Structure 1
Amino acid sequence: MGFLGTAIHAATGVPRLYAAALKAGLGPSEALEVLRISQAALQSAAAHGRAVPGRTNAVRHFMWQATLTARFGVDAARTIAAAQESGSPNRRDSAVDEHNNAAGRAWGAEHADDLTAGSVSAAMTALVPVALEKWESDELIWVKPH
C-alpha cells in the first residue's frame, strides 16, 4: 500500500473507532469514551515506552484493550480492535497488534474492577507497570525489522 495507504489508514482512525464503537452496541457518549481511552493509551504509552523499538506500540495496544474490555466488555473491545486493524497496510504489524490486544483483553477482563474504579487516567497509571512487566517478560511482542 505504501505511504499513501498508511496515511489514509491513519487519517481515518478516529471515525473508524467511533463507528466501530457504535457497531459494538455502544451509545454516542460511550463511543466518545472509546476515543478518550484510545487517546489516553497513546499518550501514556508514548511517555513510558520510549527508547526501545516496538515497546510503545505493544504497550499502547495492551493498555487500550485492557481498559476497553474492563469498561465495555470483551466483545466490544474485540470489535473495536478489529475495526482499527481493518484496512491496515501492514499485515505483520496487525498480527502483532492482535496478539497484544488479546493480552490486554485477557488482563482487562480479569481486573475489570481495578480498571473501572476511577478515571481513565487512573486506569492508565495502574496499567503502566503491568504493561512494562509484560513487555519485559516477552508476553507483549513487536514486529522486528528484517
Structure 2
Amino acid sequence: MGFGDVLQQAIHAGTGVPRLWVAATRAGLGPSAAAEVLRLSQAALQAAAAHGRGVPGRTNAMRHFMWQAALTARFGADVAGSIAAAQEAGTPNRRDSRVDEHNNAAGRAHGAAHAADLADLSPRAAMASLVPVALAKWESGELVWVRR
C-alpha cells in the first residue's frame, strides 16, 4: 500500500462523522434523529471493539452488522441503507467495501426482523443485545471479512 492509498484511507476515515450527519439529514432525519445516528454509530464501534478484538476481521464485521441492525430498527431499512451507502461512498478499498455491504445487509435484515425488540433501546442497550447475535453470526460464517 503506497502513501497515496494511506492518505486516501485517512481522509475517508476522518470525514466519517460529517458524512454520516449529511447522509442522515439527506435521508429525511431531523437534527435530533441525525444525532441519534451518530450515537448509535459510536455505540456500535465501542461494542465491536470491546467484544470483537482478537480475531482478524471480526471487529469490523460486528460493527457493521450491529450498526445497521440498530439503525434499521430505529429508522427503517431505507434510511439505514442510505446512510450505509454514504459511508461506503469514496472508500479507497472496493473489496473491503463489498464485505461491509454484505455485513450491513445482514444487519438490516436482523434489525427489520427484530425492530420491536431494538427500536426503543438506548444505543448502549441495543448494542448489548446485538453483541451475542453478531458473535453467533460471525461463528456461523454469516458475517464475513477480507483477508489482507
Whether these two folds match at TM > 0.5 is yes
Whole-angstrom CA distance in 2 between matches of 1:116 and 1:17: 19
* Cα distance change, pair 30–117 in 1 and its aligned pair in 2 (3 A): closer
Q: Any unmatched runs of 5+ in structure 2?
A: none
2:40 to 37, 40, 49: 37
How many pairs were matched up? 145
2:122 to 99, 119, 130: 119
2:94 to 91, 95, 99: 91
**Alignment-derived partner of residue 61 in structure 1:** 64
**Alignment-derived partner of residue 27 in structure 2:** 24
- How far did 1:119 drift? 1.2
2:112 to 109, 112, 123: 109
- How far did 1:103 drift? 0.1
TM-score between both structures, scaled by the size of structure 1 = 0.98
Identity of aligned residues (%): 73
**Alignment-derived partner of residue 51 in structure 2:** 48
Residues 75-94 of structure 1: CA distance to partner in whole angstroms, max 9, x if unpaired?
00000000000000000000
TM-score between both structures, scaled by the size of structure 2 = 0.96
Q: Any unmatched runs of 5+ in structure 1?
A: none
User: Secondary structure at the residue paired with 1:135?
Assistant: helix
1:4 to 2, 7, 11: 7
Whole-angstrom CA distance in 1 between matches of 2:110 and 2:121: 17
- How far did 1:118 drift? 2.3
Residues 9-52 of structure 1: CA distance to partner in whole angstroms, max 9, x if unpaired?
01110000000000101001100000000000000000000100
After TM superposition, which residue ranges in structure 1, 4 or more long, deviate above 3 angstroms?
Answer: none
Whole-angstrom CA distance in 2 between matches of 1:28 and 1:105: 22
